[in-house]
Amino acid sequence: MRKIPMTKELFLKDYLILSPTFLGVLFIGISVYFRFVENNLFGFYGLGSIGLLSLIFAVARFFILRKLFINGVEVNGRIIRVSFYRQSSRIVFEFDYDSSHIKTAWITVKNKLSRNMRNVSDIKCLVNPNRPKQAVILDLFEQ
C-alpha cells in the first residue's frame, strides 16, 4: 500500500491548499475586525463569506489529493517545463495512461525539491483513473 502523506506535508507542498487556507484565515480575521471594531456588517459578511469559500476550496482540494493517494495509479512521466513565480512553481509534465498521451501541470510551493525538478526528466506520477488529467508528481512526496 502506498504511503499517504501527512496533512502538514500536503499543506507545505501543494500551493492550491496552502494559499487558499492562508487567505481564508486572513479574510475571516479581517471580517471579525470589521464586525467587532468597526461595527460594519457588510465587511463582516463579505470578507467572512470569501474567507469561508476559500477554506472550503482548500479542504476540498485536500480531500481530492488524499483520495488520489489512495486510489491513484502510478505511471511514469516526463517533465516538459518548470517555471517559478514568487513562492510557487509550475511543473508541466506528460505521461501515457490507458493508451492516451496526457499533458498536464501541477502547481507546488517553491522549495528545494521543486527547484531540483529542473534537472530531472523522468518522474513517477500518480493519476486519477477516472480523470487522468488529475495527476500529481509522486517524486515530490517520496523524498
C-alpha cell at 17: 491548499
Residue 51 included in any domain: yes
Q: What does pTM read for this prediction?
A: 0.80
Categorize the per-residue pLDDT at 13 as very low, low, confident or very high, splitting at 50, 70 and 90. confident
pLDDT digits (tens, 9 = 90+) for 66-107: 888 888 899 999 998 888 888 888 999 999 988 889 999 988
What pLDDT was estimated at residue 1? 54
Distance, in Å, from the CA atom of 45 to the CA atom of 49, rounded to the nearest integer, reads: 6
Distance, in Å, from the CA atom of 25 to the CA atom of 135, rounded to the nearest integer, reads: 27
Q: Cβ of 137: how many Cβ atoms within 10 Å? A: 22
Residues 76 and 133 in one domain: yes
What pLDDT was estimated at residue 143? 58
What pLDDT was estimated at residue 26? 95
Distance, in Å, from the CA atom of 47 to the CA atom of 42, rounded to the nearest integer, reads: 8
Distance, in Å, from the CA atom of 72 to the CA atom of 136, rounded to the nearest integer, reads: 9
Residue 1 included in any domain: no
Domains contained in the chain, number: 2
Higher pLDDT, 53 or 6: 53
Range of the domain at 34: 7-70
Q: Assess whether pLDDT exceeds 80 at residue 120.
A: no
Residues in contact with 80: Cβ distance below 8 Å, sequence separation at least 6, in sequence order: 92, 93, 94, 103
Residue 26 included in any domain: yes
Out of 7-16, 37-46, 120-129, pick the least confident: 7-16
